[in-house]
Amino acid sequence: MRVMRVGLLTIAALCIGGCGINNIPTDDEAVKAAWGQVQNQYQRRADLVPNLVATVKGYAEHEQETLEAVTEARAKVSQMNVNADTINDPAAFKAFEQNQNALTGALSRLMVVVEKYPDLKANQNFLQLQSQLEGTENRISVARRDYIAAVQKYNTEIRTFPGRIWHAILYRDMQVRQSFEANEGAATAPVVKF
């Protein structure tokens, strides 16, 4: 009788363990880890900005407006209180995304300004910072892609069978996660003038 109970409990445990009950928390942790990597890469970029601005300032002092725009955008990014709960708050997530997009735009304008200064473009410090910034932008792109994939997997799990059942019974407090959207004007091709 005891052997039969142990056998039934073992079979029940295997059935429950193999039916997806752990998928939701596992996917949730993957989303959090991917979000941490997004934050890490954006922080890396924010850390590069002061050095980049200081290097450009030495060569292009009369481009003060562009330099101030970059500095202000970085300040807004740095002032945000971003943590793991940001992905649960659509308004905070949108504010985070808008501030990061503003910094991206300001840095793009700065790179256009740099084209006017051949001495600056040849400066080793600037070239190194520019290379680091380009690498960081690529890392941001990869981190965002990985985050989007993790969110898609998690959101799909809690909205489809059998995850929907487990979500309703055990994980009701876990919400649908926010994902990144394309920047305004991303669908419009840039104008190239020669």
CA–CA gap between residue 71 and residue 45 (Å, rounded): 12
pLDDT of residue 193: 45
For the purposes of burial, counting CB atoms within 10 Å of the CB of 95, is it exposed (0-12), middle (13-18) or buried (19 or more)? middle
Asked if residue 182 has pLDDT above 70, the reply is yes
Q: Which residue has the higher pLDDT, 186 or 50?
A: 50
Q: Mean pLDDT in the chain?
A: 87
**pLDDT, tens digit, 9 for 90 and up, residues 121-144:** 888 989 999 999 999 999 999 999
Asked if residue 79 has pLDDT above 60, the reply is yes
Q: What is the pTM of this model?
A: 0.82
**pLDDT, tens digit, 9 for 90 and up, residues 148-164:** 999 999 999 999 999 99
